[in-house]
């Protein structure tokens, strides 16, 4: 059995496109996943699967959510090794002291033509970023709410991305390692 992590994008705590995490666990179990557990309401799940093709799990999960809830979120499935690698490759280790300021954007695939120059032109003096493989690291000490860099990163990378802060990624790894 593989330990898998599902990162869902486009679900909300309230209002449009809601998906309670208890229901996500039920959905995962109904599509054949085992030992499903979730972390916070923003669409993070850890589970076991015998399926080796993560894109199949992603498509199956997104389709089941659409059937049950009427919307289809972007679903990225990663192995525990991908989370471990992302944490190990953090180019801003000193930012780990303020885990809410350090974000990891998990990309659907490695960008072919990211516009890193334009991203560099959008960053505030205090912000730093780095693209390593299919992970976009962003250190934004002033927060990402008003960051032009954060707001435009997906578009300028040219790849669908789902973002998690350092604390969340560490908690997901902890859950997946148990």
> How much of the chain exceeds pLDDT 90, in percent?
92
Fold (CATH) for 89-177: Alpha-Beta Plaits (3.30.70)
Report pTM: 0.95
pLDDT exceeds 90 at position 10: no
b/e per residue 7-39 (b: at least 16 CB within 10 A)? bbbbbeeeeeeebebeebbebbeebebeebebb
Say if residues 64 and 56 touch (Cβ distance below 8 Å).
no
Q: What is the DSSP string of 25-54?
A: HHHHHHTT-EEEEEETTTTEEEEEES---H
Where are the domains positioned within the chain? 2-82, 89-177
pLDDT exceeds 80 at position 12: no
- What average pLDDT does range 3-11 have in this prediction? 93
The CATH class that applies to domain 2-82 reads alpha beta
Say if residues 118 and 124 touch (Cβ distance below 8 Å).
no
Question: For the purposes of burial, counting CB atoms within 10 Å of the CB of 150, is it exposed (0-12), middle (13-18) or buried (19 or more)?
Answer: buried
DSSP secondary structure code for residue 142 in this structure: T
What pLDDT sits at residue 177?
93
pLDDT exceeds 80 at position 137: yes
Give the separation between CA 170 and CA 66, rounded to whole angstroms.
Answer: 29
Give the separation between CA 10 and CA 17, rounded to whole angstroms.
Answer: 7
Question: Does an H or E element contain 63, and which?
Answer: helix 54-69
Same fold, 2-82 and 89-177: yes
Q: Among the listed ranges 6-10, 14-18, 20-24, 101-105, which one has the minimum average pLDDT value? A: 14-18
Q: Render pLDDT for 49-107 as a digit per residue (tens, 0 to 9).
A: 999 999 999 999 999 999 999 999 999 999 999 999 999 999 999 999 999 999 999 99
pLDDT exceeds 70 at position 156: yes
Mean pLDDT value across the chain: 95
pLDDT exceeds 80 at position 14: no
């Amino acid at each position: 059995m593989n330990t898998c992590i599902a990162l869902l994008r486009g679900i909300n705590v309230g209002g449009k496109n809601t998906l309670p995490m208890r229901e996500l666990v039920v959905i995962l179990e109904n599509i054949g996943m085992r030992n499903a557990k979730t972390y916070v309401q923003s669409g993070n799940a850890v589970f076991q699967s015998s399926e080796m093709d993560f894109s199949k799990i992603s498509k199956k999960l997104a389709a089941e959510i659409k059937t049950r809830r009427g919307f289809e979120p972007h679903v990225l499935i990663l192995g525990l090794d991908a989370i471990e690698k992302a944490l190990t490759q953090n180019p801003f280790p000193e930012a780990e002291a303020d885990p809410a300021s350090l974000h990891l954007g998990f990309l659907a695939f490695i960008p072919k033509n990211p516009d890193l120059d334009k991203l560099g032109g959008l960053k505030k003096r205090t912000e730093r970023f780095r693209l390593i493989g299919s992970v976009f690291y962003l250190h934004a000490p002033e927060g990402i709410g008003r960051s032009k860099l954060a707001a435009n990163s997906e578009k300028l990378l040219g790849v669908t991305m789902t973002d998690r802060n350092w604390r969340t990624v560490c908690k997901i790894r902890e859950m997946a390692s148990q």
